[in-house]
């Protein structure tokens, strides 16, 4: 292979964008630093054409606006592997809109392949062995060593050829239109909203705590978040969820009581001990925390949901694909909730997945309205 082209200047990015706008297909991947920073960000964008591989450094370029037209232009197909996370990151960090997407992982799932990881697929299709040792590396470091650059370029280098093989098989098996539905759904993936006070419920075991313990847990979570933000570290590298849970459960109010939990080593005790006890006290002074309980779904809804899930599982087994390939979970739940009375009503609920409506609509209606 030719060496990848490193892009770390705005002028070079503009020239590259001009070249990419003339391409029919580009392969794309991203690398982020979620394991090494408080707020993850895209640290590297890999783009491959049929002739060259490019590595773009977002940390060195003030604006990636020249690439916006590449991602939004429907005439250019953007090929990803496991696109959802990349799409979220590109929208979140750069505001890109992405049109005309092909996802080699989703295509593989629709074809019923058991191994849908990129390394496994490339080994099977091209006898290429990818070394995934840098999958969890710190992509925010600079300069990136040559071995990480070599690793990064391979994640996009083979996607154009792989896509061609997958399209041929999808068309041969009559699943091309089905794949297009999922690619369109991926394009519309939304960036998850930032947590707004709900982080406490993400702590394993939180639902087993009483209202007073929950108020303390919330105070502890807030303290950890503040420390992580100041240190620019992921929250789990400051204090683990298990530590916060055990402190909230036990409610230690003295240094010996905190030490007796056995959850903090000497370094963590020295750094956080007093502040954690203060967080416990703040939590005890707060009103007890309870979670609003959603009303129990109706029996009729649960019956429809179970019937649809059972049908979906059986259909997936007959097609030898994962269940969500037959009917995505969000659409399944929406149909069960809405309980359409006619095919036209069902068509409206399945308007983003017309192939599935055409092939499964009558069965679905018969199941929810026997």
Q: 142 and 267 share a domain?
A: no
Q: What is the pLDDT of residues 61-93, one digit of tens each?
A: 999 999 999 999 999 999 999 999 999 999 999
Q: 274 and 205 share a domain?
A: yes
> In this model, does residue 130 exceed pLDDT 90?
no
pLDDT at 28: 98
> Which residue, among 80, 84, 94, has the nearest Cα to 13 in the 3D structure?
94
Q: Give the pLDDT mean for 30-47.
A: 97
Q: 69 and 93 share a domain?
A: yes
Identify the band that residue 195 occupies on the pLDDT scale cut at 50, 70 and 90.
Answer: low
pLDDT at 133: 86
pLDDT at 74: 97
Q: 130 and 178 share a domain?
A: yes
Identify the band that residue 196 occupies on the pLDDT scale cut at 50, 70 and 90.
Answer: low
Task: Indicate the DSSP class of residue 78.
Answer: E
132 versus 362: the higher-pLDDT residue is 362
Q: 141 and 26 share a domain?
A: yes
Q: Give the pLDDT mean for 320-348.
A: 97
Range of the domain at 99: 5-187
What span, in angstroms and rounded, lies between the C-alpha atoms of 335 and 347?
10
CATH of the domain at 226: 1.10.150.80
Last residue of a domain, one of 285, 314, 330: 285
* Domains of the chain: total: 3
Q: 208 and 281 share a domain?
A: yes
203 falls within a domain? yes
What span, in angstroms and rounded, lies between the C-alpha atoms of 76 and 100?
7
167, 205, 241 from 215: Cα distances, Å? 53, 14, 15
Q: What is the mean pLDDT of the chain?
A: 95
46 falls within a domain? yes
> In this model, does residue 370 exceed pLDDT 80?
no
291 falls within a domain? no
What span, in angstroms and rounded, lies between the C-alpha atoms of 331 and 309?
12
Q: Give the pLDDT mean for 299-314.
A: 97
Model pTM?
Answer: 0.92
Identify the band that residue 197 occupies on the pLDDT scale cut at 50, 70 and 90.
Answer: low
Q: What is the DSSP string of 161-217?
A: HHHHHHHHHHHHTT-HHHHHHHHHHHHTPPPPPPPSS-GGGGSTTGGGS-HHHHHHH
Q: What is the pLDDT of residues 204-261, one digit of tens each?
A: 999 999 999 999 999 999 999 999 999 999 999 999 999 999 999 999 999 999 999 9
> In this model, does residue 1 exceed pLDDT 90?
no
pLDDT at 135: 86
pLDDT at 23: 98
pLDDT at 188: 96
> In this model, does residue 198 exceed pLDDT 80?
no
- Binning the chain into helix, strand and coil, the percentages to the nearest 5 are 55, 10, 35
Q: 19 and 151 share a domain?
A: yes
What φ, ψ does residue 314 adopt, rounded to 5°?
A: -65, -40
Identify the band that residue 290 occupies on the pLDDT scale cut at 50, 70 and 90.
Answer: confident
Last residue of a domain, one of 166, 187, 208: 187
pLDDT at 44: 98
To 5 degrees, how large is the angle CA 39–CA 85–CA 76? 120
Q: What is the pLDDT of residues 275-287, one digit of tens each?
A: 999 999 999 999 9
pLDDT at 322: 97
23, 51, 94 from 66: Cα distances, Å? 15, 21, 11
Q: 170 and 42 share a domain?
A: yes
193 falls within a domain? no
Q: What is the pLDDT of residues 139-177, one digit of tens each?
A: 999 999 999 999 999 999 999 999 999 999 999 999 999
pLDDT at 131: 81
294 falls within a domain? no
Q: 180 and 203 share a domain?
A: no
Q: 269 and 351 share a domain?
A: no
């Amino acid at each position: 292979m030719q060496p990848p082209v490193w892009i770390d200047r705005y002028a070079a990015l503009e020239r590259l964008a001009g070249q990419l706008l003339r391409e029919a297909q580009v392969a794309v991947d991203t690398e982020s630093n979620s394991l090494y920073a408080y707020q993850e960000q895209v640290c590297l964008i890999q783009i491959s054409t049929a002739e060259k591989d490019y590595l773009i450094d977002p940390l060195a370029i003030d604006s990636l606006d020249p690439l916006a037209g590449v991602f939004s232009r429907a005439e250019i197909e953007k090929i990803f592997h496991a696109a959802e996370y990349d799409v979220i990151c590109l929208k979140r960090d750069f505001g890109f809109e992405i049109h005309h997407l092909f996802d080699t992982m989703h295509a593989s799932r629709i074809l019923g392949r058991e191994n849908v990881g990129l390394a496994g697929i490339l080994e099977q299709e091209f006898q290429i062995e990818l070394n995934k040792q840098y999958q969890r590396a710190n992509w925010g470091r600079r300069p990136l060593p040559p071995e990480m650059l070599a690793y990064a370029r391979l994640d996009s280098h083979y996607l154009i050829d792989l896509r061609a093989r997958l399209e041929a098989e999808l068309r041969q098996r009559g699943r091309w239109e089905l794949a297009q539905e999922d690619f369109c759904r991926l394009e519309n993936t939304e960036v998850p909203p930032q947590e707004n006070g709900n982080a406490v419920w993400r702590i394993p075991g939180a639902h087993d705590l009483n209202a007073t313990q929950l108020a303390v847990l919330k105070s502890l979570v807030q303290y950890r978040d503040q420390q992580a933000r100041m240190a620019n570290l992921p929250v789990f590298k400051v204090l683990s969820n298990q530590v916060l849970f055990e402190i909230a459960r036990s409610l230690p109010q003295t240094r010996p009581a905190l030490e007796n939990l056995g959850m903090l080593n000497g370094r963590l005790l020295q750094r956080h001990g007093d502040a954690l006890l203060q967080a416990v006290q703040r939590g005890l002074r707060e009103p007890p925390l309870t979670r609003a309980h959603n009303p129990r779904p109706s029996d009729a809804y649960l019956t429809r949901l179970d019937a649809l899930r059972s049908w979906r599982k059986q259909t997936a087994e007959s097609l030898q694909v994962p269940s969500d390939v037959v009917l995505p979970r969000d659409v399944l739940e929406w149909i069960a909730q809405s309980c359409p009375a006619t095919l036209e009503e069902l068509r409206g609920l399945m308007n983003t997945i017309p192939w599935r409506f055409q092939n499964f609509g009558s069965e679905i209606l018969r199941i929810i309205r026997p």
